[in-house]
């Protein structure tokens, strides 16, 4: 197993994972905990957080979490302060919380557009800023920030303008911040999943089935046909790349947007 160390090498890093109770976020939380990191997760559902924390603790992992809405500056402040109080300086941040959303652009509501941007992009800024300051990451001398973006942020998703715009923004933010923080010892990268079998993916298929007036099975067949490997990626495959990026072996990787997509995107 690849090593993960702090500058002092004395205690395991603390990882904060947003949206850590399902899909990719849950797989990331499990992967990092299995690597020996102390994991603090947040999500909007208190019950979901408590259930996941209890489950991971029964597996022997050092995990905690709290309810939090990453769209809210006040909530983000509370989440990061709680994480620091529980485990100390945040060494690894995974900005994973997000939502789908789209439709015919001419009929999109202001509310949908702003909520997708707030949930996916603005939250990435809010959480990152708070971790750099209150979380202590900027002065730690070592760290990892990993933003879960999307291949849709590189190539666009039909009927998904707000989603694609938010994920493209995450990629741009990633690259700019990586160059800013390079002298500090903190690397910043984006992981870009393609189609991944998660609860959100099921909602996306439902939405396309309604728009295209077809079945969810037909939508799935169309999507699989676009993927060279012929299948969706798994949350664990995406989490595997996140797990690698926190290791010492990945120390020279920064300012990158790396695909996990079965060949769907080639840039």
Task: Give the domains, in start order, of the chain with CATH numbers.
Answer: 14-194+234-251 (3.40.50.720), 196-232 (no CATH)
Percent of the chain with pLDDT over 90: 85
Sheet-wide strand order for 90-95: 63-67, 38-43, 14-18, 90-95, 143-148, 186-193, 257-260
Segment 231-247 shows an average pLDDT of: 97
Per-residue pLDDT tens for 66-78?
999 999 999 999 9
Closest CA to 187 of 2, 33, 1, 4: 4
Residues 227, 65: Cα–Cα separation, whole Å: 35
pTM, two decimal places: 0.93
Those residues whose C-beta lies under 8 Å from the C-beta of residue 137, and which sit 6 or more positions away, are 89, 90, 91, 93, 131, 143, 145, 186
Identify the band that residue 1 occupies on the pLDDT scale cut at 50, 70 and 90.
Answer: very low
The catalytic residue positions are: 163
Q: What is the DSSP string of 151-181?
A: THHHH--TT-HHHHHHHHHHHHHHHHHHHHH
């Amino acid at each position: 197993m690849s090593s993960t160390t702090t500058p002092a090498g004395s205690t395991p890093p603390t990882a904060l994972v947003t949206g850590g109770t399902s899909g990719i976020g849950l797989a990331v939380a499990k992967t990092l905990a299995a690597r020996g990191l102390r994991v603090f997760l947040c999500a909007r559902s208190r019950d979901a957080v408590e259930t996941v924390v209890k489950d991971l603790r029964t597996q022997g992992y050092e995990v905690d979490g709290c309810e939090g809405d990453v769209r809210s500056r006040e909530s983000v402040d509370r989440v990061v302060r709680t994480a620091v109080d529980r485990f100390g300086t945040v060494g690894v941040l995974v900005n994973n919380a997000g939502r789908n959303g789209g439709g015919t652009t001419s009929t999109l509501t202001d509310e949908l557009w702003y909520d997708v941007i707030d949930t996916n992009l603005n939250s990435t800024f809010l959480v990152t800023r708070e971790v750099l300051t209150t979380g202590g990451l900027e002065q730690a001398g070592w760290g990892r920030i990993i933003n879960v973006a999307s291949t849709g942020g590189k190539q666009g998703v039909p009927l998904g303008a707000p989603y694609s715009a938010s994920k493209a923004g995450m990629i741009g933010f990633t690259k700019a911040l990586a160059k800013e923080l390079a002298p500090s010892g903190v690397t910043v990268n984006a992981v870009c999943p393609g189609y991944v079998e998660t609860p959100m993916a099921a909602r996306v298929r439902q939405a396309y089935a309604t728009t295209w007036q077809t079945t969810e099975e037909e939508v799935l067949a169309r999507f699989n046909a676009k993927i060279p490997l012929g299948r969706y990626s798994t949350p664990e495959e995406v989490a595997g790349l996140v797990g690698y990026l926190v290791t010492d072996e990945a120390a020279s990787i920064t300012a990158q947007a790396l695909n996990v997509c079965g060949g769907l995107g080639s840039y």
